[in-house]
Structure 1
């Protein structure tokens, strides 16, 4: 197994679901995470494979400036950090951490059994694995460590890092284009993930073809699943690499904060609902979906699909 370190920068209030994220990391012992933050939480609160480093946005800005050698660097808010994700390997270098692959992810997700989806064959064959800003992995090689120096057909790197606007440089409109133009061995598979929009009632996947009848999205004991009823009334379970909660720090419906004693959760439009066994959710899934509701869902999926291909 390759040494894989995934880096996260997060500044601000501690998310309600942080412990659930940590629990899902802890169940993937072949991976290591580095969380650069200002929470004031010590490593004793984290699983053995998650390392916490205290820092500030200003310190991170100075670090990136030293590597980019830019006179003007705009990093005035934490959201702008997304554009800098292709530089997150610098944290590992500064801390003298040994690694074969590095990557970045977000805190608004839960990991399933990563090794069931990203196996040794992918690490041997590809230089970059997955192309989403909420999880992307890169080989430790001169090319992947210098992607920000490669030309982009539409973006000037100095403008990306020197402008306060957000460019989405960490994924589709940034490094993904650079990787393809310069023929980097790049493995993409959005079928690995559940990308959920929790604010919809009921919550839906962003995929135009991934949604199912009477579905629920579940994290349970290190597994990420979509549980649904098929058209013949039988229950089906599909497992995924991870689940991302779109644009939302989702808290618990009952006001409870996540902790490592949790066995699982179900995503609802009202928040995260604790479950102690898979059968707890079957009564929720076992609901009738009318033709009107199915057509509404279909129309939403088409709208989202066309927005993505238009780059909106």
Structure 2
């Protein structure tokens, strides 16, 4: 058993790249994942990922049974507000863990241990200000701190009794769990180490929460090549004439539709703004950096200058599906 269990309830069909997400969990052997879902698709779950099959009604009953009032939980999206409560709601699954966490499934993880240090785990009761990945110390007291008042309000009860979203899980609106921790003087690590990909634009631009400004800032567009390589997530770029590589904790593809043209079992692949593709080079270097695609091409330009192998496979599949079956080779 590891020190931390990351909890992921998800009801409905997982994203088409969920196997890549699982593979990136599997390379983080110091962490466990507990998944609660009604998706019975035959994914290859790594040894550190345990799946519990249940319905959304089971989750609704779990929430109702945990409180002495009537919570509102009409759809799975409302679970975003309940993430800080998972230590309380799933306590029976957390025996023996020093920490628990919550995450989204539209992620690809890098090496978490490179970013989450023993010193951080020793000093803080909560790590990270965003909702797509956060960790909490697994104690009875800490798991109930979401119930503490904020500005004199029983905010958690308002969250549970309302169908609307409060972004209770992250520093976006003022109605969030981080303000409760800070108002009551509990140690919380507020530096945003995520790779939160902006949902707009033809290139990958990272958006991060700035604690001093109390807002999210999006970096300027930059030519960068992103790759996942046997558990390491990195981006390569040229800055002031110098070739650099930066390791990332994870990438979060919020509201982006991503195609998968690489093998689902690939140990190395390139990440583009709209797809996961095979790497065309053995190693990204200054010499080959500018030969690698880094942004989404306009459809017309893509057809004029040529397609990648992954693009060809994708569009051939789409075209073939449009041909009447009697006209396909082998069906005559």
TM-score grouping bracket, smaller chain normalisation: 0.7 to 0.9
Q: 2 CA distance for matches of 1:218 and 1:134? A: 20
Q: TM-score under structure 2 normalisation?
A: 0.77
Aligned: 1:196 with 2:197: yes
Match of 2:259, SS? coil
Q: 2 CA distance for matches of 1:2 and 1:170? A: 24
Match of 2:128, SS? strand
Q: CA deviation at 1:278?
A: 3.6
Q: CA deviation at 1:155?
A: 6.4
Corresponding residue for residue 118 of structure 1:
116
Aligned: 1:25 with 2:25: yes
Q: 2 CA distance for matches of 1:217 and 1:211? A: 16
Distance 1:212 1:96, change over 3 A: closer
Would the aligned equivalents of 1:41 and 1:52 in 2 still touch at CA under 8 Å?
A: no
Corresponding residue for residue 9 of structure 1:
9
Corresponding residue for residue 276 of structure 2:
272
Q: 2 CA distance for matches of 1:285 and 1:159? A: 47
Distance 1:201 1:140, change over 3 A: same
Over the residues paired in the alignment, what is the CA RMSD in angstroms? 2.4
Match of 1:170, SS? coil
Alignment counterpart, residue 102 of structure 2, candidates 104, 115, 119: 104
Q: 2 CA distance for matches of 1:66 and 1:117? A: 36
Q: CA deviation at 1:65?
A: 1.5
Q: Which moved more, 1:60-69 or 1:1-10?
A: 1-10
Q: 1 CA distance for matches of 2:218 and 2:81? A: 29
Would the aligned equivalents of 1:87 and 1:145 in 2 still touch at CA under 8 Å?
A: yes
Unpaired runs of 5+ residues, structure 2, are 209-216, 296-332
Would the aligned equivalents of 1:37 and 1:52 in 2 still touch at CA under 8 Å?
A: yes
Would the aligned equivalents of 1:108 and 1:249 in 2 still touch at CA under 8 Å?
A: no
Q: 1:235-254 to 2 correspondence within 5 Å? A: 235-252=243-260, 254=261
Match of 1:183, SS? coil
Q: CA deviation at 1:147?
A: 1.9
Corresponding residue for residue 144 of structure 2:
146
Higher RCO (CA 8 Å, separation ≥ 6 residues): 1
Unpaired runs of 5+ residues, structure 1, are 288-312
Distance 1:283 1:40, change over 3 A: same
Would the aligned equivalents of 1:110 and 1:244 in 2 still touch at CA under 8 Å?
A: yes
Aligned: 1:178 with 2:175: no
Q: CA deviation at 1:250?
A: 2.4
Match of 2:8, SS? strand
Q: CA deviation at 1:61?
A: 1.2
Would the aligned equivalents of 1:221 and 1:264 in 2 still touch at CA under 8 Å?
A: no
Q: 2 CA distance for matches of 1:171 and 1:197? A: 16
Q: 2 CA distance for matches of 1:209 and 1:197? A: 7
Would the aligned equivalents of 1:113 and 1:223 in 2 still touch at CA under 8 Å?
A: yes
